């Protein structure tokens, strides 16, 4: 109990009902504000603590692995060890680039991903635009383009 609350409760004996309601309302608002901030902090802590446990990787044979990541389900090649390690470790490739995409794109925008690889930024854009807008993803390397198409399809976005 804070000192101010204790003093207000002692003083409450001489207050009118209306004054007492005012004091109680003020303290209730302070408690609600504190609880709201505490819940937000606990949510952030929980998110950071459990992120590694939410990531999964499933082999699909033929040199393909499906990862759950920050942008959704992503297919990538088993031969791309650097990407596999980064996705398994952090759940994403370049956090800063993903955050820029999410910050500056809105529903209805147009996003062009040249050299889209397996679609990490394409999916970031699709999520930021909430399925409303146009994305042009170009990947000339056939195996990577197939992974891109599978990733887009797996996440429910149209080609």
Tens digits of per-residue pLDDT, 97-120? 989 999 999 999 999 999 999 899
Burial class (CB within 10 angstroms; exposed 0-12, middle 13-18, buried 19+) of 139 = buried
For residue 66, being part of any structural domain is answered with: yes
For residue 29, being part of any structural domain is answered with: yes
Q: How much is the pLDDT for 48?
A: 53
Tell me, yes or no, whether 11 and 65 share the same domain: no
Tell me, yes or no, whether 133 and 62 share the same domain: yes
Tell me, yes or no, whether 66 and 36 share the same domain: no
Tell me, yes or no, whether 83 and 67 share the same domain: yes
Q: How much is the pLDDT for 109?
A: 95
Tell me, yes or no, whether 11 and 64 share the same domain: no
Average pLDDT, the chain: 81
For residue 145, being part of any structural domain is answered with: yes
Counting the structural domains of the chain, the total is 2
* Tokens found for residue 120: 């990490």
9-37: pLDDT as tens digits:
666 666 666 776 777 788 778 777 766 76
Q: How much is the pLDDT for 18?
A: 73
- Percentages of the chain per state (helix, strand, coil), in multiples of 5: 60, 15, 25
Tell me, yes or no, whether 118 and 62 share the same domain: yes
Q: How far is CA 67 from CA 3, 45, 61, 116, 153, in A?
A: 53, 23, 13, 17, 14
Q: Supply the range of the domain harboring residue 91.
A: 55-154
132-145: pLDDT as tens digits:
899 999 999 999 99
Q: What is the mean pLDDT of residues 39-50?
A: 59
* Max avg pLDDT among 20-29, 69-78, 89-98, 120-129: 120-129
Q: How far apart are the first and last CA of the chain?
A: 59
More confident residue, 123 or 32: 123
For residue 159, being part of any structural domain is answered with: no
Tell me, yes or no, whether 127 and 144 share the same domain: yes
Q: Is the pLDDT of residue 94 over 90?
A: no
Q: What is the mean pLDDT of residues 60-73?
A: 84
């Amino acid at each position: 109990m804070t000192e101010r609350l204790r003093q207000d409760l002692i003083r409450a004996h001489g207050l009118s009902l209306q004054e007492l309601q005012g004091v109680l309302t003020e303290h209730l608002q302070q408690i609600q504000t504190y609880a709201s901030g505490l819940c937000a902090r606990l949510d952030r802590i929980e998110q950071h603590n459990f992120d590694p446990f939410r990531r999964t990787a499933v082999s699909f044979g033929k040199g393909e692995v499906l990862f759950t990541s920050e942008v959704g389900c992503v297919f990538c090649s088993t031969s791309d060890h650097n990407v596999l390690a980064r996705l398994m470790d952090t759940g994403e490739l370049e956090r800063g680039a993903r955050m820029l995409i999410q910050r500056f794109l809105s529903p209805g925008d147009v996003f062009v991903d040249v050299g889209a690889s397996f679609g990490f930024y394409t999916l970031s854009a699709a999520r930021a635009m909430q399925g409303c807008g146009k994305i042009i993803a170009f990947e000339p390397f056939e195996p990577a383009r197939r992974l891109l198409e599978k990733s887009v399809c797996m996440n429910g976005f149209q080609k």
